[in-house]
Chains A and B, each alone.
Chain A
Amino acid sequence: MQISLERYKRQLLLENIGKCGQQKLFNAKVLVCGAGGLGGPALTYLAAAGIGNIGLCDFDVVEPSNLNRQILYNHVDIEKQKAYIAKERLENFNPDVKVKVYPEKLTEKNISDIFKNYDVVIDAVDNFQSRYLINAAAYKSFVPLVCGAVCEFEGILTVIVPKENTSCFQCIYPLKPSSELTSKTFGILGATAGIIGSMQALESIKFILGLHCLKNKLLVFNGIENTYRIKDVLKRKDCPICRQG
């Protein structure tokens, strides 16, 4: 495909991108799991940057309560399936981008078959159960994983690279949260999800370009206190997911 580079002029100026880096972005395949508060901004900035092949996995329909943070949708989309609306919006936004949709729930059965087609996976789901599943599958399929999550005014971000034997999501949270906690619905502000989702796009783009990324580290963002803390995440000797590498 002959792509006009005019649209990417301002990023081609970046020393770390240039024509060679832009070609890497066009050739890249990135899967985003969850097209909600994190997935919306992540997908939008991946498409804006010219990631040539984007996968999008979400089986939900748009609900009114999504609209404070899920910026790919608007009020006329209520009750429609998110995956197809998101695909249309993203392909209209940047026709250089091909979006493949997986309007299904990720399970132990289908996840490896989906992951094997991608260079990077973004975890932008809304629950811990899926996060543990995605982390395990990424390690098993040797696919790099960019994890982001939000709760109230807080957010976290980390990059997991199985081929480099880094620590994993389960090293961060070795004890799973109680059902009391996971069944509770927490508040989320759109702007907080926007920050972390945008950072997930940024980490993915940097990974594709071979630049520094947040491996073996956890960024903890607190929007109330305006703090970013970066803590080391050590690989746990007893981690059932990453210990054998």
Chain B
Amino acid sequence: MVTVKVNGENKQLEDKTNIADFLKSNNIDPIGVTIEHNLEIVNPENIAKVTLKDGDILEILRFVGGG
């Protein structure tokens, strides 16, 4: 298991979870969010290539633009 800080909260994840897996298991549609991994913005096309490691920081922010 690895511990990843997601939106400020520690979460225990299986080893070798990538960002795409994480979003899928949390029912988050990647087109609806901005993803920041260790302060770097992740292009939606690359989310399956980024494997989460112990101590990583993930920020997932929904696109909110209505009024």
A180 touching B31, Cβ below 8 Å? yes
Q: Which residues of A contact B64 (CB under 8 A)?
A: 149-151, 154-156
Q: Which residues of B contact A177 (CB under 8 A)?
A: 31-32, 63, 65
B8 touching A38, Cβ below 8 Å? no
Contact string against B for A residues 26-47, beta-carbon threshold 8 Å, 1 for contact and 0 otherwise: 0000000010111100000000
Interface residues of A in 10-69 (CB under 8 A from B): 34, 36-39
B65 touching A127, Cβ below 8 Å? yes
A191 part of interface (Cβ distance < 8 Å):
no
B34 part of interface (Cβ distance < 8 Å):
yes
B34 touching A36, Cβ below 8 Å? no
By the criterion of a CB under 8 Å from any partner CB, how many residues of chain B are at the interface?
A: 17
Interface residues of A in 149-192 (CB under 8 A from B): 149-151, 154-156, 172-175, 177-178, 180-182, 186, 188
Which of the residues A34, A172, A234 comes within 8 Å of B67, measured between beta carbons?
A34
Q: How far is B67's CA from A38's CA once the two chains are assembled, in angstroms?
A: 5
A131 part of interface (Cβ distance < 8 Å):
yes
A243 part of interface (Cβ distance < 8 Å):
no
Using a CB–CB cutoff of 8 Å, the interface residues on chain A facing chain B are: 34, 36-39, 124-128, 131, 148-151, 154-156, 172-175, 177-178, 180-182, 186, 188, 193, 218, 220, 229, 231, 234
Using a CB–CB cutoff of 8 Å, the interface residues on chain B facing chain A are: 7-8, 31-32, 34, 39, 41, 43-44, 59, 61-67
